[in-house]
Amino acid sequence: MPKTIISIIIPTYNVEKYINRCLDSIVSQTYGIDNFEIIILDDFSSDHTLDYLKTFESKYPNNTILIPLNKNQGQSHARNIGLSYASGKYITFIDSDDHIDSTMIEKMVSVAEKYDSEIVECGYTPFSSDNNISNINDLPESFHLNLNNNFDANINLLNTGRIAVWGKLYKKTFLNNNSLLFPEGVIYEDVPFSGLCMLLVKKYYRINETLYHYFYNPEGSSFSKYTPERTHQETIVMNHFLTELKQRGLLEVILLKYREQLKTYITVKTFIDPLSLILTGDVDFEVKVSEINYFKDYLLTLFPDAGSNPLIPQNQEIFRLAMLFLNNETSIIKNILSNI
């Protein structure tokens, strides 16, 4: 019996140091490269990335779709172009500086076929150039969810699922039937895409095994110096997410029955996550105060009672600090900022 064709989408930009590591991990898959279409989109790299990609294409011409883009338009645009080319039954995204375990595709496809899963997710390991940092398994065991007529579980996934799109296998019909694409021209595009996936998925499987290796790159964009212009896009993508919920007829349903859960999700993504960047950013006191107020005002416009949330855990310092900021504990806030 022939194996199922998998579409692997890889956006690339100036990754000449790492791209071969990524591609080698695909070639070495136990599922077999002849069962893949590897869709590589070069986002107008200025280094030798495209040369490496052309070499790879020449080695595997029957399995590679190389698309050099004529200007840099960001990862979300590249991923959307990749989705338009994908013809496999399943789709997976791999970041070009990461790599995958040799058994990842085989194990994820096996589960997807067995349970007719729309999304399969695996654990991951962050690593640096020198060593692995840790193994991350979000749950103590593998589990299967059949979510038909059980929106409670979808809401739980929204607040507990991983936002990153890598380390997951998506059924193509699920993405197509739900018109799921990435918002373009922004960063943090995973937030609305993954949020919608968690709310719309009906059959989900989690493999509690570390199969994806995520490169912690201090020089990469995710770890670059804090800038307000970049971090403010957290609110832009959240607006996109909320607009999508409204257009799909989901926002009223969620606000009626799951208001606290949605408030928690938005609090984490548009206040607590930015707050952690602001507090550790190399900016002066006045900028820190201004930036905190920007995200605070955004959140309180949506949820005036955001400072009162029993679902926000208090056993982590950043969550405790967030609640202090939201509740205008002025003297405590000034003391915190002055000692950072």
Instruction: Give CA–CA dist 139/106, Å, rounded.
Output: 21
Instruction: Give CA–CA dist 236/221, Å, rounded.
Output: 18
pLDDT of residue 281: 82
Please give the average per-residue pLDDT across 285-297, as a whole number. 90
pLDDT of residue 60: 98
pLDDT digits over 65-82, tens only?
999 999 999 999 999 999
Is 207 within 8 Å of 142 (Cβ atoms)? yes
Instruction: Give CA–CA dist 37/253, Å, rounded.
Output: 39
pLDDT of residue 340: 60
How many CB atoms neighbour CB 53 within 10 A?
26
DSSP 2: P
How many CB atoms neighbour CB 77 within 10 A?
20
DSSP state string for 61-76: TTTEEEEE-SS---HH
Q: Say yes or no to pLDDT of 138 above 60.
A: no
Please give the average per-residue pLDDT across 188-203, as a whole number. 96
Please give the average per-residue pLDDT across 27-53, as a whole number. 97
Please give the average per-residue pLDDT across 324-330, as a whole number. 80
- 3-state secondary structure (DSSP) of residue 72: coil
Which of the given ranges, 19-23, 120-124, 130-134, 306-310, has the highest pLDDT on average?
Answer: 19-23
| Paired strand residues for 132 | 127
**How would residue 38 be classed by pLDDT, with cut points 50, 70 and 90?**
very high
User: Within 13 Å and on the Cβ side, how many CA atoms surround 67?
Assistant: 23
Instruction: Give CA–CA dist 222/21, Å, rounded.
Output: 20
Instruction: Dig out the tokens for 164 from the structure.
Output: 């990153």
Please give the average per-residue pLDDT across 199-227, as a whole number. 81
- 3-state secondary structure (DSSP) of residue 273: helix
pLDDT of residue 220: 53
pLDDT of residue 190: 95
Is 263 within 8 Å of 306 (Cβ atoms)? yes
Domain locations in the chain as residue ranges: 6-222, 225-338
Q: Say yes or no to pLDDT of 221 above 50.
A: no
Q: Say yes or no to pLDDT of 222 above 70.
A: no
Q: Say yes or no to pLDDT of 47 above 50.
A: yes
- Region for residue 32 given its phi and psi (left: phi exceeds 0; alpha: psi -120 to 50; beta: otherwise): left
Is 36 within 8 Å of 89 (Cβ atoms)? no
pLDDT of residue 296: 95
Superfamily of structural domain 6-222: Spore Coat Polysaccharide Biosynthesis Protein SpsA; Chain A (3.90.550.10)
Q: Give percent of the chain above pLDDT 90.
A: 73
Q: Say yes or no to pLDDT of 134 above 80.
A: no
**How would residue 142 be classed by pLDDT, with cut points 50, 70 and 90?**
confident
Instruction: Give CA–CA dist 165/65, Å, rounded.
Output: 21
